[in-house]
């Protein structure tokens, strides 16, 4: 089976005021299906550029990128959009939910763009919400949900098209400790079901739940190591009573 993510000498530069500014330099990495990866690095290290390239939100200046065996390095904007719709799901620090739509309608949104029939959209959205523990809240609007519940809606929306890779950009950055652990436990559960997860975070306490760590600095991949992932569910159970209240 082909690697899920395979890059060779992947690079991205931007032109600012007539000057070429490198954001990512010569990154070669291979990621198998079903792996849970944490991507870390200081501001300006290249981790967000790497996420954008892996998520087909941008195109490289040099090198190649194959996603699930397909060379996506030089695809057109329309072709990249099709790849994102078929194979990728995105979760961000901001939940990006439609404020006037309930949870189910928010989760249906990617399927509306894909042209699925209304009944199929509803059935799949309800299954996705049940999978993230919000089956009983599907008719609540974002302002009727907690921050953690809103992030769960965003995760349901990201997985409703059954992607092969979930990309999460600082998904716990706006959440408290307990809610962050709940979200990480959900990511681990989804990962155990076969979904690959690529998590960008600046928090070492969140990165410890991944099985592989990629660390960037000055646009370069400077560390690539496997690690024994800790259990987010166990970390939740170990919270002091005051934090669990």
Distances (CA, A) of 136 to 69, 87, 128, 149: 39, 28, 12, 11
Q: Is a pLDDT exceeding 90 seen at residue 116?
A: no
Q: Is a pLDDT exceeding 80 seen at residue 242?
A: no
42-46, 72-76, 222-226: range with highest mean pLDDT: 222-226
- For 81-103, how does the pLDDT look when each residue is reduced to its tens digit (9 = 90+)? 999 998 999 999 999 999 999 99
- For 32-41, how does the pLDDT look when each residue is reduced to its tens digit (9 = 90+)? 999 999 999 9
Across 74-87, average pLDDT: 90
Kindly tell me the sign of the dihedral angle through the C-alpha atoms of 228, 48, 92, 90.
negative
- In terms of CATH, what superfamily is 5-244? P-loop containing nucleotide triphosphate hydrolases (3.40.50.300)
DSSP 143: G
What is the distance between the alpha carbons of residues 120 and 108, in angstroms, rounded to a whole number? 9
Across 94-115, average pLDDT: 93
pTM over 0.85: yes
Q: Angle 103-114/77-87 helices, nearest 10 degrees?
A: 130
Q: Is a pLDDT exceeding 90 seen at residue 52?
A: yes
Across 164-184, average pLDDT: 96
């Amino acid at each position: 089976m082909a690697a899920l993510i395979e890059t060779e000498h992947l690079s991205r530069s931007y032109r600012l005021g007539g000057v070429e500014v490198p954001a990512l330099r010569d990154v070669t990495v291979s990621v198998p299906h079903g792996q849970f990866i944490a991507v870390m690095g200081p501001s300006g290290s290249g981790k967000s550029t790497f996420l954008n390239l892996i998520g087909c939100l941008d195109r490289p200046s040099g090198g190649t990128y194959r996603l699930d065996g397909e060379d996506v390095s030089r695809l057109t904007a329309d072709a990249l959009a099709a790849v994102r719709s078929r194979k990728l799901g995105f979760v961000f620090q901001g939940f990006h939910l439609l404020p006037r739509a309930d949870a189910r309608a928010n989760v249906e949104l990617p399927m509306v763009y894909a042209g699925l029939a209304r009944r199929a959209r509803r059935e799949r959205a309800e299954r996705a919400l049940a999978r993230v523990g919000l089956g009983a809240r599907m008719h609540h609007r974002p302002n009727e949900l907690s921050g953690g519940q809103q992030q769960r809606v965003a995760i349901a929306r990201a997985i409703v098209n059954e992607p092969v890779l979930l990309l999460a950009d600082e998904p716990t950055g706006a959440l408290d400790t307990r809610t962050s652990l709940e979200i990480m436990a959900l990511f681990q559960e989804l990962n155990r079901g076969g979904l690959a997860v690529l998590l960008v975070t600046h928090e070492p306490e969140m990165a410890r739940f991944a099985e592989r760590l990629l660390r960037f600095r000055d646009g370069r991949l400077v560390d690539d190591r496997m690690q024994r992932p800790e259990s987010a569910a166990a970390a939740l159970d170990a919270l002091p009573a005051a934090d669990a209240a």
